[in-house]
Amino acid sequence: MSVEGGNNARLIVTCFAKSRPSSQDDFRSQSVACGPTFSQLFASQLSPAQLVLDSYCTLAPGIFQSVYSITNPRPNPAKFRHHASITAFEALHAVEIVWDIVPDGLSKGFRPVRLAVFDMDSTLINEEVIDELARSIGITSAVSAITARAMNGELDFEHSLRERLALLKGVKADVWDELKKTITIAEGAKELIDYLRERHVLTVVVSGGFAPMALWLKEQLGLTYAFANHLVVSPSNAAYQYPHLSGELSSEHPIVVPEYKQLVLESLAKEHSIPLSETFVVGDGSNDLPMLGAAGLGVAWRAKARVQREAPQRLNGTTLSDLIFLLGNHDSKGT
């Protein structure tokens, strides 16, 4: 997590109930747990001189936020969520907590964001495109098994990508037209991107998937930039009497490996004179970990097991629009 600024800062703690309250009693119970009960627990982890509760509010049913003033030495939010007392609190009250630190005086303590970078597969869209390509020629199981291991960090990403692509040799080159009819945009993605665009935030998809779908998604959501892998298309031949995927990556374009994703984030930030502390990244796979760690706020969304453990922050909601509550400028009720 990148944080720049002076000695003073704000710690923003957002508490998401795993199931939203169905009654006033449930609402009051969650509010007390995520408010006074949590603050007492949290204060015990830092000395009173380091931590002052500035505000506590209800952002929406089942979503609560506390803002604390802190001074050096600044705590590491990525470490807080792994503390035994915090994980026990989350389990007891069926909540997930997202932690963020912003320099004092910026956006009244809310997360300043000028650049937002997203993974595509299983993040902005519900599917893994390479698995859908495999489905088109009846080899879903073989490819999906490799995909699952690669996204959990069990396999080298580039090697596993090339291995899967080799299995896809012969897929019709116009397969993208059919995929665009079946691929589904994730719940809340449009609302989140619209929110960011209205605030003049640069929005980017950077995918270890494939350019035709990334460019389609850019158009569908109105994103600023799209980066993804390019595939080689071969002409008709004796074996395949139609234009088809060769099973290889184009040598004329960069391969979107984990390090390249981070490079895109850092290069765009530099190009647009945006400090990394004002960047926001969302992804679900192990290949997203470098850019998640480099961002001002990096959130693993409904992520693979390893990513849940290693990402700076994680959230497992049902709609991407929940991420708006981490960025400020929302209506709330003080409690």
Written as one letter, the residue type at 193 is I
Q: In angstroms, what CA-CA distances link 94 with 23, 89, 284, 290? A: 16, 8, 21, 29
Q: Has 121 been annotated as catalytic? A: yes
The C-alpha atoms of residue 151 and residue 234 are separated, in whole angstroms, by 28
Strands of the sheet containing 51-60, edge to edge, are 95-103, 9-17, 63-70, 51-60, 333-334
Give the residues across from 14 on adjacent strands.
65, 98
> What contacts 271, CB < 8 A, 6 or more positions away?
none
Catalytic site residue from 119, 131, 288, 322: 119
Q: Has 119 been annotated as catalytic? A: yes
Q: Which two tokens stand for residue 1?
A: 């997590």
Catalytic site residue from 100, 121, 284, 322: 121
Residue 327's H or E segment, with its range, is: none
Give residue 254's Cα distance to chain centre: 22
The C-alpha atoms of residue 284 and residue 151 are separated, in whole angstroms, by 8
Query: Which positions are catalytic?
Result: 119, 121
